[in-house]
Amino acid sequence: MKLVLAEYPESRDRSIEVEKRYLPPDTEISYAVVDEGNMEAYYAALEEADAVLTGFAPLDETAIDRMKHCRIISVQATGWNFVADEYAAKKGIAVCAVGEYCTQEVADHTMALMLGVCRLIPYHMRRVNQDHVWEIETLKDRKVQRFGAKTLGIVGFGKIGRAVAVRARAFGMKVIAHDPYIGRETAERQGVELVSIDRILEEADVISIHMNLTSENENYFNKEKFDKMKRQPYIINMARGAMINEEDLADALDRQVVSGAGLDVLYSESPELGTSKLINRENVIITPHCGFYSDDAIEACERISVQNITYYMNGEKEKVFKIVNGI
């Protein structure tokens, strides 16, 4: 079997010892590295693959057209918005993802960002580490409220959204959620009220985003939605950066329509941080898409994504964790 790993330049030299452990010993491994200045080389490197493994490197229709023998694209993530999965199905190529491997880590990171921005941690770090000032008098001029008295609005109430709800309720927060694909009973079992998106925008002090990215919800949080937010909420995004229009978020922060943001993702997976309007703000915490990370989670993701390939190539489709395009 010829396996091609589709990678961005920054991940090209990562260790793949776990992946090798679960692959047949005669597997031929090569790389296709995204180079926006020479995408032809990237596409050419995919041509002879029997299987492709990708984390976040895009596999669009052009890439899929170049795959002469590929039977399966395995995604080392829970989301697969960067893969043209429906087009792959037309070409007879299965697309599979890791259905769950980092729920606890992402939920924990969500709460860390939420607490960090609500408790003004960046401000305090600057005052202590840079200004060498030990005081709290200036807090009178800032918005500091009791965390447990806040209402959390969760947008996307899948496994991660539910795990966040458990943690938030333990802090004493009231939790409401919006998800058109989840039944009301599912939410009520966790003491969560399922509501419209407009209720979230009107009532939430904190809005935490946990949707899968689709063509319908790209730029979902934009000026129109920010202007409907009644309580100057904090925005937490642990899903995909493309769900937020970053220009509109920066404007909402400037106008104090939004009090702050905790972002583990930005619109681009390789952002130009030097030109971003969201960095160097004391009411914004940005982490580099690391919310999923723990040694345990990484091992599980690498193992499951490769096992998916092995099972599928061996004709054991029933053992594949999650085939997302029906092939």
Annotated catalytic sites, by residue?
240, 269, 289
Whether 40 and 49 have beta carbons less than 8 Å apart is answered as no
244 strand-pairing partners: 221
Whether 284 and 278 have beta carbons less than 8 Å apart is answered as yes
φ, ψ (nearest 5 deg) of residue 319: -90, -10
User: How many alpha carbons lie under 13 Å from residue 283 in its C-beta half-sphere?
Assistant: 18
- Tell me 197's DSSP state: H
Within 10 A of 149 (CB to CB), how many other CB atoms are there? 11
Task: Kindly state the helix (H) or strand (E) to which residue 199 belongs, with its residue range.
Answer: helix 197-203
Q: Give the CA radius of gyration of the chain.
A: 21
Query: For the sheet containing 28-33, what is the strand order?
Result: 28-33, 2-7, 51-54, 72-75, 94-96
The token duo for 220 is 């979902």
51 strand-pairing partners: 3, 72
The dihedral over CA atoms of 39, 40, 45, 50, expressed in degrees to the nearest 10, equals: 90
Within 10 A of 41 (CB to CB), how many other CB atoms are there? 12
Nearest to 286 by CA among 112, 93, 125: 112
Whether 126 and 284 have beta carbons less than 8 Å apart is answered as no
